[in-house]
Structure 1
Amino acid sequence: MLTLLTTLAIIGIQEKNKSPLDRFLETYNLDGMNLKNVIQTLEATAAEAEGFNASITGSHLILSDQDESYEIELPAGEFYLSIAPYINQTHPCSNHNLVTCRGEMKSETFHVIITDLDTNEVVIDANYESTPQGFFGLWLEQNKNYQIVINYDGMTQTETLFTSKESNTCLTTMQLA
């Protein structure tokens, strides 16, 4: 009996020591993850919780529901970009909403080449699969000029982007042709 009471007391202390953000993350099954894993999980989630919202700017991940809102700073010097290539249909977007943004090309594989325009160094040359929401996300260095080339099934599109704290995190203008 004493062991059970001790265990319950420890659990109560641990629960009391949780920050409001920790309790919020736990509510949405995001506890125990680092920031990049939270973003990756939300980017891939098709069935969002009622009233939950998650968006990302050039400097913060913003999580909210009807009662609470939290701004979590992104890692220093890093920039998150979510891309939704399309053929026929897109939507305007500036700061990506990890919960509600939907792209046309769901669960498709794209070959992505990203070049640092200041050094001409290829920083990414890899395949990315879009989520069931039609987006794929990647991390880039902040305050850089990049050229992004996306290839898909014989079609291609190229765009340039500067990654600052004020830059758009949602790229929905890459029409493949």
Structure 2
Amino acid sequence: MRKTLAFLGVALALGLAQAPSPEALKGLGPEEALALAKRWREEGQRVVSYVTPEAFFFEFPDGRKAQVALKDRFLLAVAPYVSRTHPCQVHYFSSCTGELQEEVFLVRVLEGEKEVLKTQVKTGKDGFFELWLPRNRRYTLEIRFGNLVATGPVATFSQSPTCLTGFRLASR
């Protein structure tokens, strides 16, 4: 009994025993909202979460809704693939799934000829990795996976997609 009570106390302190709610998002920035959306999905919570060019949106099982503004940056959710993908414009953290889960990629982002980002990323259990980029710009995205490469244009304007599922990896 004491161990159960001690566990419940720790769970409450960490917020693990609390059901997802709009209150959990109060005061969070975009990065924290992203982490929470991913955590709720992995936990199997029935929270619908998605990202538009302006904000994260959350819809809770009890009908309540909440949002967290993205502010001055744009979030791209990218699911590179080899053989299967799905068409998408708005990324739903609660349901979109990519083919290559928990894989490591080398990613480059170019603005014209200038390299603005070069990093190694790992897709999550959902098969996506995320990139935070400045708004209102056009880029070229290059993704490498072993000897496979995918390259294409991306944009961060108010009508741009937040879910990128068209980057097919192929030999070059």
TM range (shorter): 0.7 to 0.9
Cα distance in 1 for partners of 2:124, 2:27 equals: 22
CA-CA distance at 1:32 after TM superposition: 6.5
1:148 aligns with 2:146: no
Distance in 2 (CA, whole Å) between partners of 1:49 and 1:110 is 28
Distance 1:86 1:80, change over 3 A: same
1:105 pairs with one of 92, 96, 100: 100
Q: Could you tell me which residue of structure 1 aligns to residue 44 of structure 2?
A: 48
Alpha-carbon distance between aligned partners in 2 of 1:99 and 1:25, rounded to the nearest angstrom: 19
* Alpha-carbon separation, structure 2, partners of 1:121 and 1:112: 14
Match of 2:15 in 1: none
TM-score (normalised: structure 1): 0.78
How does 1:25-40 map onto structure 2 within 5 Å?
A: 25-26=23-24, 33-40=28-35
1:160 maps to which residue? 153
How far the C-alpha of 1:37 sits from its partner, in A, is: 1.8
Aligned to 2:110: 115
1:71 counterpart = 2:67: yes
Off by >3 Å, runs of 4+ in structure 1 = 30-33
Q: Which has the larger radius of gyration?
A: 1
> Structure 2 length normalisation: TM-score?
0.80
Counterpart of 2:103, as a letter, is E
Aligned-CA RMSD value: 1.9
Instruction: Extract unaligned runs of 5+ from structure 2.
Output: 1-19
Deviations 1:122-152 (A, max 9, x none): 1110100000110000100101010000000
How many equivalent pairs are there? 149
Helix, strand or coil for the counterpart of 2:32? helix
Report the Cα distance in structure 1 between the residues aligned to 2:70 and 2:131, rounded to whole angstroms.
13
Distance 1:24 1:160, change over 3 A: same
Structure 1 residue 33: Cα displacement: 4.1
